[in-house]
Chains A and B, each alone.
Chain A
Amino acid sequence: MKYLVCISKVPDTTAKISFKNEDKEFNSDGVTFIMNPTDEWYALVRALELKEASGGQVTVINVGPKDNEKFLRSAIAIGADDAVLIEANEETESYYIAKNIAKYAQENGYNFVITGKETISFNSFSLGGMIAEFMDLPFINQATQWMLNGEVSTIYKEIEGGEEVLEVTGNCVISAQKGMAEQRLANMKGIMMAKTKPLAIIPIALGEEKVQVSQYQVTPPRGNCKMFTLDQIDELVQALQSEAKVI
């Protein structure tokens, strides 16, 4: 089986978020980026586990600037076999990214395309669905478990108040979330080997950005928050009366 895992980069969770260019652009000055956690911890690791169990190839892919190579190298260090960077401007537009990934997957005969449930930066949840549409494949969103038996995938999803178990025959696109796998740390040997594994940089093929960000807005910070435990009812009432002055 051939697995194509989509890897994006996101600002470190502790990064200070600000915008520039009249609030049209994310200000990346002084921000450290990391591999998107759901891509790394769930999508990539599950693909590796399936490959380790029954063979195949795990490729990681990113559409973005050349700098993103280092995130792909990190993914290789964790265990991916090879990587592809489709060189483009900063990645913001899912349609544009999905179209390019779909094309690459199709032309290179991948059986599964796996994404993380969402990027923790833009949270659009949309990439997987679009890729599936472009490839004319089924899409299973926010999967928590994925077993593979021959051609048949058994996939678990959380639904309101319970779980849904799906069987999918043949190729598909999956977005992965918590439960799918456990984070794997790269080991030193993996990092050293990563240099020797192939990383192809190919030019963007389909370049048409349909969606443009016109403005970002920062939600005003929440006011001071005070936590009370169950046995502090008296303090709570006291605070509501004398501090918040609402009762």
Chain B
Amino acid sequence: MKTKTLKGGAFIIEDQDLNSFYAPEMLSEEVQQFSEMISDFVEKKVKPNFDKIDKGAHDLVVSLLKEAGELGILSASLPEEYQGLNVDFHTESIISEQVGKAHSFSVALAAHTGIGTLPILYFGNSEQKSKYLPGLGSGALLASYCLTEPGSGSDALGAKTKAVLSEDGKHYILNGQKMWITNAGFADVFIVFAQVDGDKFTGFIVEKGSEGLTLGAEEEKMGIKGSSTRMVFLENVKVPVENLLGEIGKGHKIAFNVLNIGRYKLCVMAMGGAKETFNHAVRYANERIQFKIPIAKFGAIREKIADMAISIYATESATYRTSGLIENQIQELTSNGMDKTSAKLEAAEEYSIECALLKVIGSETLDLVVDESVQIYGGMGFSEESPVARAYRDSRINRIFEGTNEINRLLGVGTLAKRAMKGELDLQSPIKAAMGDLMNMDFSEVSGDLGAEKKSIANAKKAFLIIAGGAIQKFGLEFERQQEIIMKLSDIMIDIFAAESILMRVEKKIQTSGLEGAAHDINILKVFLYEAMDRIYMKGKQAIHSSQEGDQMTMMLMGLKRFTKYESINVVETKRAIAKIYIEKQAY
């Protein structure tokens, strides 16, 4: 079957072919077996140790990481020539989802397999790969990633750590400080970024035990207390020239590329955590009796359950859609002769806009879920006796690391604009068309299954385009400085991406289970859209009021109103129906 692939970021101007859409319901039996196996590992090996891990038992984290290595979890995405399992991208997704339930341990594992291992996999030369990858895959070696410094976090390239070639040309001498380094306490391998000749940002592989490499004390953190986070000090550390990673001055490529996949995986892990916390909350709501009935019977609680479930469903739809886009791209590139590792790197870069948006979606869904779950638990939620207290503390970091959510929102819109400027995406014509539609009244009837929903999403894209187009026209090169407007555009993009992902998942569901079989999914779609269109209207209005004037403003506001219209639904009844399903199932 010929399917057109959707380029990265193009979802905002085009429709994706349903044949190329990937839904979580399509995960193969083998992938589900991986999922069960990893879930078993987390349940039986990690969960009983949550308390000990959070009290600082890093040796336990290390032994569990090694156990994960034996099970193949750490080497799953590595190529076979380095004793990896070379799994497909959906399997990588499911691993992250299940590992995401493991609190501090999940952070240790993700930092090791992601930002710790990937720089060597993607940018190491063959000697470096042979030397480190088998050990990193088995857990014999554990890795950390040292980018952030006291003076440079979001502004990662502003790092001050220096690397100077020794006189005999055999070593680089590294001097500087790194901060907030996950896994620092037990890492054998430190991926360190430093400036060569003062301004050539470059990656290095530094080994534990190198003279001059020392660690600060463990940070006292708000959450993920069991994850080792320390400063790393480099004082005249001699790093053999063979350990230079990639090319001199190309460190930014390493730093940013591993973050694309990192952001995607952070989203999937957050979703796994959200499902787990949701399950606790629903069970508690069924068990807790007040005023002689289970609190799950109160509308206020039911609405929370529905809101959480809808948010998880949206995240899941957007996540697996992206998993599908990336996997399709990997397959296309490998069938053209590219090796799989390069293909994965390139695919993740292609979908870097989606990865940035997902990072925001996943971490904010988790924050919603842990917050409402604590609320459902009431006083018990404030007690360390309940599982949701830990979930609440551990959630918050996700909006900060792997690029703060502000940085990722800026990236979503910024990368889109950049691609348009480079001519890789044609934003100009769709903006023109949408502007044209401002004048044309649209009397077309909606028809077919989900006709209203499809039309609303198409219109929401027009809303995005007129606001973005209008703001770019108004501010020109100054657009980049209008962060308040960019934040709003980003939020609109997120709503569109999520809504369309839900829509396509529902369409697939209707294909396999019919309208009746998809009734619950359709309810979720309706409520999500109903609320999303209001959000888009509100954000859009603020953006237009703040960027336009006179007739243009009036016309755009009228258009926005038209473009964000959706059916009137009985949102209370629909949410009740949604919540009922989960309350009966006692799980997501």
Contacts and interface: CB of A to CB of B under 8 A. Distances in A.
A16 interface: yes
A186 B585 contact: no
A51 to B, nearest CB: 20
A53 interface: no
A189 B72 contact: yes
Interface stretch (B32-40, B185-193, B569-577): B32-40
Contact of A185 (B29, B41, B76, B87): B41
A186 B37 contact: yes
Interface stretch (A69-77, A80-88, A98-106, A152-160): A69-77
B585 A195 contact: no
Nearest to A34: B36
Given A30-B585, A191-B37, A192-B85, A185 B30 contact: no
Nearest to A74: B33
Contact of B586 (A16, A188, A191): A16
B29 A70 contact: yes
B76 A188 contact: yes
A224 B526 CA distance: 42
B585 A188 contact: no
A215 interface: no
Interface in A157-190: 183, 185-189
Contacts of A189: 72, 85
A30 B41 CA distance: 24
Contact of B34 (A73, A191, A195): A191
Contacts of B73: 188
Contacts of B76: 188
B71 interface: yes
Contacts of A195: 30
B33 A191 contact: yes
Residue of A188, A189, A192 contacting most chain B CB atoms (<10 Å): A188
Given A16-B586, A30-B585, A186 B33 contact: yes
Most buried by B among A77, A183, A192: A192
A192 B30 CA distance: 7
Contacts of B36: 74
A189 B70 CA distance: 10
Interface residues of B, number: 18
A118 B297 CA distance: 39
Contact of A187 (B44, B72, B87, B585): B72
Interface in A97-152: none
Contacts of B586: 16
A191 B36 CA distance: 11
A185 B585 contact: no
A188 B29 contact: no
B13 to A, nearest CB: 39
A119 B87 CA distance: 35
Contacts of B29: 70, 73
Nearest to B75: A188
Interface in B4-37: 29-30, 33-34, 36-37
Contacts of B37: 77, 185-188, 191
Contact of B71 (A73, A183, A185): A185
Contacts of A30: 585
A188 B40 CA distance: 12
Interface in B46-91: 70-73, 76, 85, 87
B372 to A, nearest CB: 23
Nearest to B37: A186
Given A16-B586, A30-B585, A70-B29, A188 B70 contact: no
A185 B34 contact: no
A74 B36 CA distance: 10
Contacts of A16: 586
A73 B34 CA distance: 12
A77 B70 contact: no
A192 B76 CA distance: 11
A182 to B, nearest CB: 11
Contacts of B41: 185
B319 to A, nearest CB: 21
A189 B83 CA distance: 11
Given A30-B585, A188-B73, A191-B33, 12 more contacts: A70-B29, A73-B33, A74-B36, A183-B44, A185-B41, A185-B71, A186-B37, A187-B37, A187-B70, A187-B71, A188-B34, A188-B76
6 contacts: A16-B586, A74-B36, A186-B33, A191-B37, A192-B87, A194-B33
Nearest first, the 5 A-B pairs at minimum CB distance are A188-B72, A187-B71, A187-B72, A191-B33, A186-B37
